[in-house]
Structure 1
């Protein structure tokens, strides 16, 4: 496989916490699956921030520019490892690797796109 894209992003957790106070803001950015997972966690804003950073990192790494954030979904495998699904025909032959991390203040994600 050949690497065709690399993206990284860092997000302040507080930014997502403030965003969450605006009606409908989270549902415009996150899938229901992402919201269900993150909002059930003790540190929900850290988890949302990590997913937001992941979406930004994937967006930056993809070889095509136009894609809605809700078409990029971050979930976890049974072992806890994050995975990304892109709901776009142009991504069908791509493999996307993702790494997430977060603290109380920041969330960081890196994405590698392979073909």
Structure 2
């Protein structure tokens, strides 16, 4: 295993809340599935913020530039753990490990990208 990148991000939940209240803003960054998942949660802005932080962390960890945020998707596995899918051919052969955490006011994410 070869680690090719490490990224982390921290964001204030209120910044995402203000962003989310603008018409069409969420659809520019999040997939339909991510939006549906977050909006169905009690603490929707925390969930949106932690997914935004995850996208930032993954973007910072990738060994190449020009990946659209919308092509980075954060999903939950059956066991509840978060996972990342990157819809970009340059990502073939790479794997992302991700860790997410949030409080009432902050959300953070860390990502490690490796190649087998």
Q: Specify the TM-score bucket, using the shorter chain as the normaliser.
A: over 0.9
Query: Which residue does 2:114 correspond to in 1?
Result: 114
Report the CA distance between 1:92 and its aligned residue: 1.2
- For residues 9 and 106 of structure 2, the distance between their equivalents in structure 1, rounded to whole angstroms, comes to 10
TM-score, length-scaled by structure 2: 0.98
- For residues 110 and 65 of structure 1, the distance between their equivalents in structure 2, rounded to whole angstroms, comes to 18
Query: Which residue does 1:19 correspond to in 2?
Result: 19
Query: Which residue does 2:74 correspond to in 1?
Result: 74
Gap runs ≥5 in structure 1: none
Aligned length: 115
| 1:65-111 per-position Cα deviation (integer Å, ceiling 9, x unaligned) | 10100000000001110000000000010010000000000000000
Q: CA RMSD in A?
A: 0.4
Gap runs ≥5 in structure 2: none
| 1:27-78 per-position Cα deviation (integer Å, ceiling 9, x unaligned) | 1010001001000000000000000000000000000110100000000001
TM-score, length-scaled by structure 1: 0.99
Q: Secondary structure at the match of 2:21?
A: coil
**Aligned structure 1 segments of 4 or more residues deviating by more than 2 angstroms:** none
